[in-house]
Structures are given as structure tokens and as C-alpha cells.
Amino acid sequence: MSKIDSLEDQAETLFMSGNHSAALQVCEQLIKLDPDNPLNWVKAASNLQELGRVNDAIRYCDEAISIDPKESFSFIEKGICLVLLGEISEAIGAYSRSIELSPCAHAFSLRAICYMRKGVQELRLCVEFLRRGVVDKKTSHEKLAVEELKKAVSDLRRAEDLGEENDDTIDLLLAAIQQAEERGLRADELEQAVAALGGAPSA
């Protein structure tokens, strides 16, 4: 086994055991030995974000992307970091680029979660405007919520096609969408939808 192979095994074992500081040190060794391998930078980024150093992780992802713009894992990891910073639209862009390069269930599921978050945010705004009696704004946000939730359903179904089970989450989304499209959601139903979707998988 070569030194690089040995270090890669060490980094993986340390990451899986939750020893991210030690794993990061090994990843830094890999970067020194093979700086043109984008996956070395992505693995280091994964450990950085686990350590709470999210901005550093994004910098490493960007380095990986500059080395090989066609490496899809770089965009997945960057998307995860962007979500942690609350930059959901930017994360969707990163996941979308990963899907363009190499469609996989994980990327579709992660992007679906982002669409769900945007949909839930719109549902919360519906509740707020409904309580204020501002019906037109409630309706507009309800439509936006439906659009985002439909995107989430589409992505979750694509993920299922690629082997990932999402039946329960899809059912929750479809129920909220059906209520909104058929007759509009009342305040209590909106709150129930938000609560239900809040229990869906998160990134």
C-alpha cells in the first residue's frame, strides 16, 4: 500500500470515528503530497465544517472546484456548508451544479431539503399574513410555498429513482400541497403543515 493510500484510509477511519481534528491533519498531509487531487481538498473541507470552521471549508471547496470544475462532490460539500450559513438559494445552486455533473440520490435529497426549507418559510409567512388579515399577501406566499414544495417532491422522487427511500416525506409534502391548491390553508392547517414538515429530514 502506498503512503497516499495509507493516509486516505487513516483519514476515512478518523472521520468516521468523529475525530475530525486528527482527520483534518491527515487530509492536510494528503494535500501536501497530492495538491492537484480535488478530493483531498473536499475531504479536508468535510472535517473543517464538522469542526465549525464553515468559511474555511467553503474556501477549500472553492480550491477543489478550481482544480477540477467537473468534480461533483466539491459542489455537494459546498452546498452543505452554504446551508449551515443559512444561504439556502446559493446551496441550491451548488447542488444543482453537482446534479448537472453527476446525478445522485444524495444531491437530489439535499436540494429537496433546501426547497422544503424555502417552502416552510413561505408557509410561516402565510400564517403571519393570515393572522393580520392581509389575504392577498397570504395567497401569494401560499403559491410560492406550493412551488417550492413541488420542487422538493420532484427531487425526492428523483432520489427514490436512484435508490433512496423518501415515501413518508413525500406524503407530508403532497398533503400540504393538496390542501393549499384545492382550497387554501387556514391558519391552523398552515401551522400543522409547518410542524409536520419541520420533522422532515434536514441537511
> What's 102's DSSP letter?
S
> What's 185's DSSP letter?
-
- CA triple 30-35-38, angle to 5 deg: 90
Q: pLDDT for 160-175, tens place per residue?
A: 899 888 777 777 777 7
Q: Is residue 75 part of a domain?
A: yes
Please report which helix (H) or strand (E) contains residue 168, including its range: helix 167-183
> What's 86's DSSP letter?
T
Q: pLDDT for 88-145, tens place per residue?
A: 999 999 999 999 999 999 999 999 999 988 988 888 887 788 778 777 777 788 888 8
Domain boundary (50, 72, 101) is at: 101
For the chain, what is the domain count? 2
Q: Residue 130 is part of a domain; what is its CATH number?
A: 1.20.120
- pTM, full prediction: 0.86
What's the domain range around 15? 3-101
**Average pLDDT of the chain?**
87
